[in-house]
Structure 1
């Protein structure tokens, strides 16, 4: 029988993360349905041929074999193997408990599909410690299209010889560079020496979004999209903060300038003063040999795959666990309070 796979999403960026996986599933004859949790995910981004299950009752009736989640939590009352595929790379962000959020184990998943050796090692240690989930290093499905040229990329400007700078920023008030750098970006964009693309996390404060939108013109384009990959492919250099999207950019072997990055490394050009941004971007565009060597070393650590086949590896690991079941694993924690909150959020009280 055909296997059934549910794409469980709560943010618009999750469409682009899971669509390469959907493509691999359909190529192998499987079935795919989508479930959209909450008000922050827009159903308008669904393609005409993508089918939605509107309620948890519909999901339970459909009985998926596996559920793919590019987020932190998924209800235990959703049927199927729960597979965590992450919404980004580990950018060193600390949560309210002072722990790295990327490695926070919330007791929701049966399988984590990790992106590269640096996170695989940590998750394998956590798997041994907790005993209720497995780990497979697969690479990240969202990146499969990154390694395939986009012939109709709308953000390319072949007739414009200027370097293209992509600015991205996280929404966290403690980490975002957007409000601090606004006047500098305004000044730099007005010089016209570079072409600017601006794209922010969908949770960015609307006042900040509106300020940057006001800069739009012949030298700067503000982009709102559910698919950041064409933007990454179109730019020569990135300006960022501690957003994990910078790691996706690095994987193209392109340099990144960061402002007050929480975990700066030799593979980044990190600055802490607003007036240092322009010089750092100028240096990055020259692609200094030492910097590019550090970028290559780091890419091998975080995501060694550039074959565009991570989706197939995720699917293989998932199907293997569907076949083997949870034999040898402990029961997942009950998480009664979290499950109650999710039932309330989703309006589902059947047992």
Structure 2
């Protein structure tokens, strides 16, 4: 997720180190050339000028300006306070780098309200390779000109369509008219994963990867439910069929009956002009930057913040409980 930023930082002669926290982050994915800081003491000794965070919080006792770059798009999910989680201010960041007008404007209003952070619309660095990488794609098959369908599903049991559409996908994959790629979030139930692995045949491939961008590039159409990965797919100007997605969005083709899935896929493969126009309008609001230079814009905004300082920002609320929880989680009690 942060490697496009790392690439640009290193290219201009600066240094990068990684600090990983939480059970959901696997250090085994780091490359031998990537430096990992193993403790908060290591981080403080390294003295970063800026800390780029794809999560929701970052400790105040880590040096450097704190830059929020988000771990996905706003999927409209509500937190326990009944507020959209994407716009929850947790008093941790000095700068939010937003993805497009749909999120920029709400964050600007929040910045005016709180006065503790700045906002810059930059686009999402994670997507830079999707718009710039032209290397051989491992998910494309030379000589096979059949349409490729990518099936993704959220891991949430209450929202996932994976258990429901299993037999339908099995039947469609055996028809052989299309190539199927199937990929799930790492949190997906192991039982569901194993069921879909059992479907593998010459027409269907189950993929386990930490880099979904080549999959998105390889497919012509996506079948999904409510997973926010569908937004990333749409940004390529490609259509998405959803099953039981209740957002009522005109840039999606939603079906609620199993027998309607195949006709919907057949329809969107023709790229109806009205649907494609709706997709384009939606993408302009969500993420209009399709030049592959969002990382450069994030760094430019960060450089500006470091150069100008944060003295004009209001002090952040102490929020002692949140910071106590972060210290307890990290096992760090030095001051």
* Cα distance, 1:32 vs structure 2: 0.3
Q: Which of 51, 55, 74 is residue 35 of structure 2 equivalent to?
A: 51
Matches within 5 A, 1:158-307: 158-307=142-291
CA distance in 1, matches of 2:34, 2:52: 15
CA distance in 1, matches of 2:3, 2:246: 31
Q: 1:94 and 1:272, CA in 2 relative to 1: closer, same or farther beyond 3 A?
A: farther
> Could you say what the CA RMSD is over the residues aligned between the two structures, in angstroms?
1.3
Q: 1:262 and 1:111, CA in 2 relative to 1: closer, same or farther beyond 3 A?
A: farther
The more displaced of 108-117 and 168-177 is: 168-177
* Cα distance, 1:36 vs structure 2: 0.9
Match of 1:33 in 2: 17
CA distance in 2, matches of 1:182, 1:89: 27
CA distance in 2, matches of 1:133, 1:69: 15
* Cα distance, 1:18 vs structure 2: 0.8
Superposed CA deviations along residues 218-269 of structure 1, whole A, max 9, x for unmatched, are 1111111111100000000001111111111111110011112242311111
Match of 1:154 in 2: 138
Match of 1:70 in 2: 54
Q: Which of 314, 318, 322 is residue 306 of structure 2 equivalent to?
A: 322
* Cα distance, 1:117 vs structure 2: 0.8
TM-score normalised per structure 2: 0.96
Q: Which of 103, 111, 124 is residue 140 of structure 1 equivalent to?
A: 124
Matches within 5 A, 1:76-87: 76-87=60-71
The runs of 4+ residues in structure 1 deviating greater than 6 Å are none
Q: Secondary structure at the match of 2:152?
A: strand
Superposed CA deviations along residues 273-295 of structure 1, whole A, max 9, x for unmatched, are 22211111111111001001111
CA distance in 1, matches of 2:129, 2:331: 36
Q: Which of 100, 108, 125 is residue 124 of structure 1 equivalent to?
A: 108
* Cα distance, 1:173 vs structure 2: 2.3
Q: Which of 73, 90, 98 is residue 74 of structure 2 equivalent to?
A: 90
Superposed CA deviations along residues 94-134 of structure 1, whole A, max 9, x for unmatched, are 22333222111111111100011111001101111111111
Match of 1:3 in 2: none
Q: Secondary structure at the match of 2:201?
A: coil
The more displaced of 182-191 and 308-317 is: 182-191
Count of matched residue positions in the alignment of Structure 1 and Structure 2: 335
Work out whether residues 221 and 240 of structure 2, in 8 Å CA contact, stay in contact via their aligned partners in 1.
yes
Q: Secondary structure at the match of 1:168?
A: strand
Q: Secondary structure at the match of 2:19?
A: strand
CA distance in 1, matches of 2:246, 2:81: 16
Work out whether residues 197 and 222 of structure 1, in 8 Å CA contact, stay in contact via their aligned partners in 2.
yes
TM-score normalised per structure 1: 0.92
* Cα distance, 1:188 vs structure 2: 1.6
Work out whether residues 150 and 230 of structure 1, in 8 Å CA contact, stay in contact via their aligned partners in 2.
no
Superposed CA deviations along residues 41-87 of structure 1, whole A, max 9, x for unmatched, are 12221122110001111001111111101111112222211111011
Work out whether residues 92 and 263 of structure 1, in 8 Å CA contact, stay in contact via their aligned partners in 2.
no
